[in-house]
Amino acid sequence: MKELKGKKIVIDPGHGGDYPGKEYEGREEEDVTLKMSKILEELLEAEGAKVYLTRTRDEDFGGTDADDDIMERVKYINKKYKGKGIDVLISIHVNTERAFNRIGAFYQEGAKASKTLAKNIAVNMGKKSFEDDLAILRETTVAGAKSLIEIARIDEEWLDDSDRLKDVAKEIALGLNDYFHDLRLGRV
């Protein structure tokens, strides 16, 4: 994955603290997203990327409710990573057990580079990419391209298996690598 060397990537493990996200039989989204983000961080750094995690433990961003916490997270990201030359922002999530096929990589409507990013990630995951309007993508201002990834439904048991999480982290990393390849060739 030669394209990852020197790239600056923000990974945002969704939820945390007072706002655990989706829950299914004791499995909480905030835990899966953090575990996944740390695995992805290790993988990307091994390929020479510089990775920043928005949180490294079970904490929220001080919001008054779940939606407000996302806005506090946005503020944190925009302040913390401003001027750092961030190439990509990836927000990791797990969808509800009622999500049907809304699993894959999302991009903000009208965002061209982000669309290319999301497509490359989704293809490597064997999933779809989706256009949507999401605050974490719409309101953050620090990266050239951004994607929110719903890695699975919360009722999927493989989420407890670290080896399976590593497989998906590899697919995401390959998607990032393909995106940077496209970007270098002007295909965005």
* Binding-site ranges for Zn ion (CB under 5 A): 14, 21, 93
Considering beta carbons, is residue 21 or 175 the nearer one to Zn ion?
21
Smallest distance, Å, CB 118 to Zn ion? 16
Nearest residue to the partner Zn ion, using Cβ? 93
SS (H, E, C) 25-52: CCEEHHHHHHHHHHHHHHHHHHCCCEEE
* Amino acid at residue number 103: I
Smallest distance, Å, CB 93 to Zn ion? 3
Considering beta carbons, is residue 14 or 16 the nearer one to Zn ion?
14
Smallest distance, Å, CB 4 to Zn ion? 25
**Which residues make Cβ contacts (< 8 Å) with residue 107, sequence separation at least 6?**
114, 115, 117, 118, 129, 130, 131, 132, 137, 146, 147
Considering beta carbons, is residue 30 or 41 the nearer one to Zn ion?
30
Place of tokens 């060739």: 185
Smallest distance, Å, CB 171 to Zn ion? 19
Considering beta carbons, is residue 128 or 181 the nearer one to Zn ion?
128
| Run of H or E residues at 53 | strand 50-53
